[in-house]
Amino acid sequence: MTDSFRNLARSLTSPPEDAAVIVPNDAVDLPELIRALYVGSGGDVTVKMAGGAQVTLASLPTGMLIPLRAARILATGTTATALVGLW
């Protein structure tokens, strides 16, 4: 497959190149920091940010894409479902 952009540096503002379903977990960090979170079904999402802060993002709507650098999506406090991490 041709990729005209393969020689350009990735940045936080460039489109994600990979994705994975996220299963919230109170004890285990994600395998790598995400750069965005897609919320498939709305609700609250509690995250541990790359810098260590823990915060609940309340009342996120279905279909929202949130640019953030998170290390963990916690089960406690998370009511949103169908979460996808983007890299």
pLDDT tens for 33-69 read 999 999 999 999 999 999 999 999 999 999 999 999 9
The CA radius of gyration of the chain, in Å to the nearest whole number, is 14
Predicted local distance difference test score (pLDDT) of residue 73:
98
State CA 66 to chain mean position distance: 7
What one-character DSSP code corresponds to residue 63?
Answer: T
pLDDT tens for 10-25 read 777 788 889 999 999 9
Question: Where residue 4 falls among pLDDT bands split at 50, 70, 90?
Answer: confident
